[in-house]
Homo-oligomer: A and B are copies of this chain.
Amino acid sequence: MFRALAHPARRQMLRTLAREPTSISDLARPHRMSLAAAAKHVHVLESAGLVRLTLSGRTRMCRIDAEPLSEAYEWIRTYERLWSRRLDALEALFANDDDEEEDS
């Protein structure tokens, strides 16, 4: 999950996809890389569950599925309290478990 977000190109693709579904080649165009490279990025996003691919003719349509981000969102939100409301955070963090992840 966090790994899928680590690469700037992937984040930019998600930004594009947040606006509208886009084909792989359209996602690739703004980046200075081969189509094959961009396709790899898309498939990384796909296997992170962030993007859903549907085949229509010769083009793969990508649409975002941001739901898996909620995990990361909640994780980070816990620590936001740490700096915005330092005291509240302490109780919250003791209750929090995030140790069952296999992602990297």
Contacts and interface: CB of A to CB of B under 8 A. Distances in A.
A84 B74 CA distance: 12
Give the copy number.
2
Q: Is the interface of A mostly helix, strand, loop or mixed?
A: helix
A104 B72 contact: no
Contacts of A84: 70
A69 B80 contact: yes
A34 to B, nearest CB: 19
Given A18-B79, A67-B82, 18 more contacts: A2-B2, A2-B6, A2-B11, A6-B6, A7-B104, A8-B99, A8-B101, A18-B82, A18-B89, A19-B90, A19-B93, A19-B94, A20-B98, A66-B80, A66-B82, A67-B83, A73-B73, A73-B76
